Structure 1
Amino acid sequence: MQDEVLAVVRASAPRRWFGIGVMAVLGGLLIYLALSTPPSLGWQVFLIVFGVAALWLAETTRKATEHEVQLTSKGLRSSSGEEIASVDQIARVERGTFAMKPSNGFLLRLKEPRSRRWQPGLWWAMGRRVGIGGVTPGSQSKVMAQMLEALLAERD
Protein backbone atom coordinates (compact mmCIF):
# COMPACT_ATOMS: atom_id res chain seq x y z
CA MET A 1 0.00 0.00 0.00
CA GLN A 2 2.99 2.33 0.35
CA ASP A 3 3.21 2.88 -3.42
CA GLU A 4 -0.47 3.65 -3.93
CA VAL A 5 -0.79 6.85 -5.99
CA LEU A 6 -2.85 9.40 -4.05
CA ALA A 7 -2.80 12.26 -6.58
CA VAL A 8 -1.43 12.93 -10.05
CA VAL A 9 -0.39 16.13 -11.84
CA ARG A 10 0.04 15.79 -15.60
CA ALA A 11 0.27 18.30 -18.40
CA SER A 12 -3.02 18.96 -20.13
CA ALA A 13 -2.78 18.33 -23.87
CA PRO A 14 -3.85 21.82 -25.06
CA ARG A 15 -1.47 23.63 -22.70
CA ARG A 16 1.32 21.19 -23.50
CA TRP A 17 1.06 21.60 -27.26
CA PHE A 18 0.52 25.36 -27.03
CA GLY A 19 3.71 25.76 -24.97
CA ILE A 20 5.71 23.49 -27.26
CA GLY A 21 4.30 25.19 -30.36
CA VAL A 22 5.10 28.70 -29.16
CA MET A 23 8.70 27.76 -28.38
CA ALA A 24 9.12 25.96 -31.72
CA VAL A 25 7.63 28.88 -33.68
CA LEU A 26 9.87 31.33 -31.81
CA GLY A 27 12.95 29.22 -32.61
CA GLY A 28 11.96 28.91 -36.25
CA LEU A 29 11.29 32.63 -36.60
CA LEU A 30 14.60 33.58 -35.01
CA ILE A 31 16.54 31.27 -37.34
CA TYR A 32 14.51 32.43 -40.35
CA LEU A 33 15.12 36.08 -39.46
CA ALA A 34 18.85 35.45 -39.08
CA LEU A 35 19.13 33.71 -42.45
CA SER A 36 16.63 35.63 -44.63
CA THR A 37 17.68 39.19 -43.84
CA PRO A 38 21.12 38.81 -42.33
CA PRO A 39 21.97 41.63 -39.96
CA SER A 40 25.56 42.13 -38.85
CA LEU A 41 27.46 38.92 -38.11
CA GLY A 42 27.16 39.39 -34.34
CA TRP A 43 23.36 39.71 -34.49
CA GLN A 44 23.12 36.79 -36.91
CA VAL A 45 25.03 34.52 -34.52
CA PHE A 46 22.90 35.80 -31.62
CA LEU A 47 19.64 35.04 -33.45
CA ILE A 48 20.79 31.59 -34.56
CA VAL A 49 21.99 30.64 -31.06
CA PHE A 50 18.72 31.74 -29.44
CA GLY A 51 16.68 30.11 -32.21
CA VAL A 52 18.43 26.79 -31.66
CA ALA A 53 18.01 27.21 -27.88
CA ALA A 54 14.26 27.77 -28.31
CA LEU A 55 13.97 24.66 -30.49
CA TRP A 56 15.94 22.66 -27.92
CA LEU A 57 13.64 23.95 -25.15
CA ALA A 58 10.57 22.96 -27.16
CA GLU A 59 11.89 19.42 -27.58
CA THR A 60 12.92 19.19 -23.91
CA THR A 61 9.45 20.36 -22.86
CA ARG A 62 7.85 17.78 -25.15
CA LYS A 63 9.86 14.97 -23.59
CA ALA A 64 9.36 16.19 -20.01
CA THR A 65 5.60 16.64 -20.27
CA GLU A 66 5.11 13.05 -21.44
CA HIS A 67 5.53 12.14 -17.76
CA GLU A 68 3.49 13.04 -14.70
CA VAL A 69 4.14 13.85 -11.05
CA GLN A 70 2.69 11.31 -8.64
CA LEU A 71 2.03 11.71 -4.93
CA THR A 72 2.29 8.59 -2.75
CA SER A 73 2.36 8.27 1.01
CA LYS A 74 6.18 8.19 0.73
CA GLY A 75 6.46 11.42 -1.26
CA LEU A 76 6.53 12.87 -4.76
CA ARG A 77 7.94 11.02 -7.74
CA SER A 78 7.92 11.26 -11.49
CA SER A 79 6.19 8.59 -13.55
CA SER A 80 9.67 7.88 -14.94
CA GLY A 81 10.57 6.58 -11.46
CA GLU A 82 12.67 9.53 -10.32
CA GLU A 83 12.09 10.60 -6.72
CA ILE A 84 11.34 14.32 -6.50
CA ALA A 85 11.02 14.65 -2.71
CA SER A 86 10.11 12.29 0.12
CA VAL A 87 7.61 13.38 2.75
CA ASP A 88 10.39 13.30 5.37
CA GLN A 89 12.43 15.84 3.37
CA ILE A 90 9.60 18.39 2.97
CA ALA A 91 9.52 21.25 5.46
CA ARG A 92 6.44 23.04 4.08
CA VAL A 93 4.21 23.61 1.05
CA GLU A 94 3.76 27.14 -0.32
CA ARG A 95 0.72 27.89 -2.49
CA GLY A 96 0.30 31.62 -1.88
CA THR A 97 -0.15 34.26 -4.55
CA PHE A 98 3.29 35.74 -3.94
CA ALA A 99 5.19 32.45 -3.63
CA MET A 100 7.94 31.98 -6.21
CA LYS A 101 6.14 29.03 -7.78
CA PRO A 102 5.44 27.71 -11.27
CA SER A 103 2.25 28.68 -13.05
CA ASN A 104 -0.76 26.69 -11.79
CA GLY A 105 1.43 24.98 -9.22
CA PHE A 106 2.97 25.08 -5.79
CA LEU A 107 6.37 25.27 -4.13
CA LEU A 108 7.97 22.84 -1.69
CA ARG A 109 10.58 23.92 0.83
CA LEU A 110 12.88 21.06 1.71
CA LYS A 111 14.85 20.49 4.90
CA GLU A 112 18.01 19.59 2.96
CA PRO A 113 19.16 20.86 -0.45
CA ARG A 114 18.84 18.47 -3.37
CA SER A 115 20.55 18.39 -6.74
CA ARG A 116 19.34 20.76 -9.43
CA ARG A 117 16.86 19.30 -11.86
CA TRP A 118 14.53 20.80 -14.43
CA GLN A 119 11.68 19.16 -16.30
CA PRO A 120 10.25 22.14 -18.24
CA GLY A 121 6.51 22.54 -17.85
CA LEU A 122 6.25 19.95 -15.09
CA TRP A 123 8.66 20.49 -12.18
CA TRP A 124 12.04 21.95 -11.19
CA ALA A 125 14.36 21.68 -8.20
CA MET A 126 16.98 24.16 -7.07
CA GLY A 127 18.60 23.96 -3.65
CA ARG A 128 15.91 23.62 -1.01
CA ARG A 129 13.09 24.61 -3.36
CA VAL A 130 11.05 22.33 -5.60
CA GLY A 131 8.40 23.78 -7.90
CA ILE A 132 5.57 21.61 -9.20
CA GLY A 133 3.46 22.94 -12.08
CA GLY A 134 3.79 24.79 -15.35
CA VAL A 135 1.62 23.53 -18.19
CA THR A 136 -0.42 21.56 -15.67
CA PRO A 137 -4.04 22.28 -14.68
CA GLY A 138 -4.38 24.27 -11.47
CA SER A 139 -7.09 21.94 -10.19
CA GLN A 140 -4.74 18.92 -10.14
CA SER A 141 -1.97 20.93 -8.48
CA LYS A 142 -4.34 22.26 -5.83
CA VAL A 143 -5.57 18.78 -4.91
CA MET A 144 -2.01 17.45 -4.74
CA ALA A 145 -0.84 20.36 -2.58
CA GLN A 146 -3.77 19.89 -0.18
CA MET A 147 -3.11 16.15 0.11
CA LEU A 148 0.58 16.81 0.65
CA GLU A 149 -0.23 19.33 3.40
CA ALA A 150 -2.43 16.66 5.04
CA LEU A 151 0.43 14.13 4.85
CA LEU A 152 2.79 16.67 6.44
CA ALA A 153 0.29 17.41 9.21
CA GLU A 154 -0.09 13.68 9.84
CA ARG A 155 3.70 13.28 9.94
CA ASP A 156 4.13 16.10 12.47
Structure 2
Amino acid sequence: MNGAFEDIEIGLSRETPSRTVTEDEMLAFSREFDPQVFHLDPEAAKESVFGGLCASGWHTASLMMRLQMDSWKSAYSMGSPGFDDLKWLKPLFPGDSIRVRSTCIDKTPSRSKADRGSAVWKTEVVNQKDEVVLSANLIGIYRKRDTG
Protein backbone atom coordinates (compact mmCIF):
# COMPACT_ATOMS: atom_id res chain seq x y z
CA MET A 1 0.00 0.00 0.00
CA ASN A 2 1.42 3.33 -1.05
CA GLY A 3 -0.64 5.27 1.46
CA ALA A 4 -2.39 7.98 -0.54
CA PHE A 5 -6.10 8.47 0.06
CA GLU A 6 -6.81 6.84 -3.32
CA ASP A 7 -4.96 3.67 -2.24
CA ILE A 8 -7.27 3.03 0.70
CA GLU A 9 -10.43 1.01 0.18
CA ILE A 10 -13.08 -0.01 2.69
CA GLY A 11 -12.29 -3.58 3.67
CA LEU A 12 -8.53 -3.17 3.18
CA SER A 13 -6.79 -5.14 5.94
CA ARG A 14 -3.22 -5.08 7.11
CA GLU A 15 -1.17 -6.62 9.91
CA THR A 16 2.18 -5.82 11.48
CA PRO A 17 4.94 -8.21 12.44
CA SER A 18 4.92 -9.14 16.13
CA ARG A 19 6.99 -7.71 18.95
CA THR A 20 7.71 -9.30 22.33
CA VAL A 21 7.26 -7.00 25.31
CA THR A 22 9.78 -7.22 28.16
CA GLU A 23 9.32 -6.64 31.86
CA ASP A 24 12.10 -4.02 31.80
CA GLU A 25 10.33 -1.89 29.20
CA MET A 26 7.01 -2.23 31.05
CA LEU A 27 8.63 -1.06 34.28
CA ALA A 28 10.41 1.85 32.58
CA PHE A 29 7.22 3.09 30.94
CA SER A 30 5.21 2.73 34.14
CA ARG A 31 7.78 4.51 36.31
CA GLU A 32 7.61 7.46 33.92
CA PHE A 33 3.93 7.59 32.95
CA ASP A 34 1.63 5.25 34.91
CA PRO A 35 3.02 4.43 38.36
CA GLN A 36 0.28 2.11 39.57
CA VAL A 37 1.38 -0.80 41.76
CA PHE A 38 0.29 -3.54 39.30
CA HIS A 39 2.54 -1.92 36.66
CA LEU A 40 5.53 -1.41 38.98
CA ASP A 41 5.80 -4.11 41.63
CA PRO A 42 5.79 -7.75 40.49
CA GLU A 43 5.07 -9.06 44.01
CA ALA A 44 2.27 -6.62 44.84
CA ALA A 45 0.82 -7.14 41.34
CA LYS A 46 0.19 -10.81 42.20
CA GLU A 47 -2.49 -9.59 44.62
CA SER A 48 -4.15 -7.33 42.02
CA VAL A 49 -7.10 -8.20 39.79
CA PHE A 50 -4.53 -8.92 37.05
CA GLY A 51 -2.72 -11.61 39.04
CA GLY A 52 0.70 -10.32 38.05
CA LEU A 53 2.71 -7.49 36.62
CA CYS A 54 1.09 -6.07 33.49
CA ALA A 55 1.72 -3.20 31.10
CA SER A 56 -0.04 0.11 31.37
CA GLY A 57 -2.83 0.39 28.82
CA TRP A 58 -1.13 3.55 27.59
CA HIS A 59 2.06 1.54 27.06
CA THR A 60 0.05 -0.93 24.99
CA ALA A 61 -1.39 1.96 22.96
CA SER A 62 2.12 3.38 22.45
CA LEU A 63 3.38 0.00 21.27
CA MET A 64 0.44 -0.15 18.86
CA MET A 65 1.49 3.19 17.40
CA ARG A 66 5.14 2.12 17.12
CA LEU A 67 4.26 -1.13 15.35
CA GLN A 68 2.03 0.75 12.92
CA MET A 69 4.64 3.38 12.12
CA ASP A 70 7.33 0.75 11.62
CA SER A 71 5.08 -1.11 9.19
CA TRP A 72 2.87 1.46 7.49
CA LYS A 73 4.49 4.87 7.67
CA SER A 74 3.41 6.86 4.63
CA ALA A 75 4.47 10.15 3.13
CA TYR A 76 0.75 10.74 2.50
CA SER A 77 -0.22 10.65 6.18
CA MET A 78 -1.33 14.01 7.54
CA GLY A 79 -1.81 12.83 11.12
CA SER A 80 -4.94 11.99 13.02
CA PRO A 81 -7.73 13.85 14.77
CA GLY A 82 -7.91 10.98 17.25
CA PHE A 83 -9.67 7.72 17.85
CA ASP A 84 -13.02 6.41 18.94
CA ASP A 85 -14.03 3.61 21.26
CA LEU A 86 -10.64 2.74 22.81
CA LYS A 87 -10.91 -0.40 24.95
CA TRP A 88 -8.35 -2.32 26.95
CA LEU A 89 -9.74 -5.85 26.86
CA LYS A 90 -6.99 -8.00 28.37
CA PRO A 91 -3.80 -7.28 30.26
CA LEU A 92 -0.45 -7.38 28.49
CA PHE A 93 2.08 -9.39 30.50
CA PRO A 94 5.89 -9.56 30.29
CA GLY A 95 6.92 -11.93 27.52
CA ASP A 96 3.70 -11.51 25.54
CA SER A 97 4.13 -10.98 21.81
CA ILE A 98 1.77 -8.56 20.15
CA ARG A 99 0.91 -7.51 16.63
CA VAL A 100 -1.53 -4.99 15.22
CA ARG A 101 -4.23 -5.71 12.69
CA SER A 102 -6.34 -3.01 11.10
CA THR A 103 -9.22 -2.97 8.65
CA CYS A 104 -10.56 0.13 6.95
CA ILE A 105 -14.24 0.48 7.90
CA ASP A 106 -14.95 3.93 6.47
CA LYS A 107 -13.44 6.38 4.01
CA THR A 108 -14.57 9.95 3.41
CA PRO A 109 -13.19 12.69 1.15
CA SER A 110 -12.91 16.02 2.95
CA ARG A 111 -15.80 18.38 2.20
CA SER A 112 -13.73 21.49 2.87
CA LYS A 113 -10.25 20.53 1.60
CA ALA A 114 -9.97 18.88 -1.80
CA ASP A 115 -6.42 17.65 -1.21
CA ARG A 116 -7.31 15.11 1.50
CA GLY A 117 -9.69 12.62 3.05
CA SER A 118 -10.05 10.50 6.15
CA ALA A 119 -10.20 6.79 6.80
CA VAL A 120 -11.39 4.96 9.90
CA TRP A 121 -9.50 1.80 10.82
CA LYS A 122 -10.88 -0.87 13.15
CA THR A 123 -7.62 -1.59 14.93
CA GLU A 124 -6.77 -4.40 17.31
CA VAL A 125 -3.65 -5.27 19.27
CA VAL A 126 -3.52 -9.06 19.40
CA ASN A 127 -1.33 -11.25 21.61
CA GLN A 128 0.37 -14.56 20.79
CA LYS A 129 -2.84 -16.44 21.73
CA ASP A 130 -4.76 -14.40 19.14
CA GLU A 131 -6.60 -12.61 21.97
CA VAL A 132 -7.45 -8.95 21.46
CA VAL A 133 -5.82 -6.91 24.24
CA LEU A 134 -6.73 -3.45 22.88
CA SER A 135 -9.23 -2.26 20.31
CA ALA A 136 -10.02 1.17 18.90
CA ASN A 137 -11.30 2.86 15.79
CA LEU A 138 -8.41 5.01 14.62
CA ILE A 139 -8.94 7.91 12.25
CA GLY A 140 -6.25 8.85 9.75
CA ILE A 141 -6.08 11.89 7.49
CA TYR A 142 -4.45 11.19 4.11
CA ARG A 143 -3.32 13.46 1.33
CA LYS A 144 -4.65 12.73 -2.14
CA ARG A 145 -2.13 11.95 -4.83
CA ASP A 146 -3.80 14.17 -7.43
CA THR A 147 -5.93 17.14 -6.37
CA GLY A 148 -6.75 18.18 -9.94
Q: If the length of structure 1 is used for normalisation, what is the TM-score? A: 0.29
Higher relative contact order (CA closer than 8 Å, sequence separation 6+): 2
Structure number with higher helix proportion = 1
Q: Computing the radius of gyration over CA atoms, which structure comes out larger, 1 or 2?
A: 1
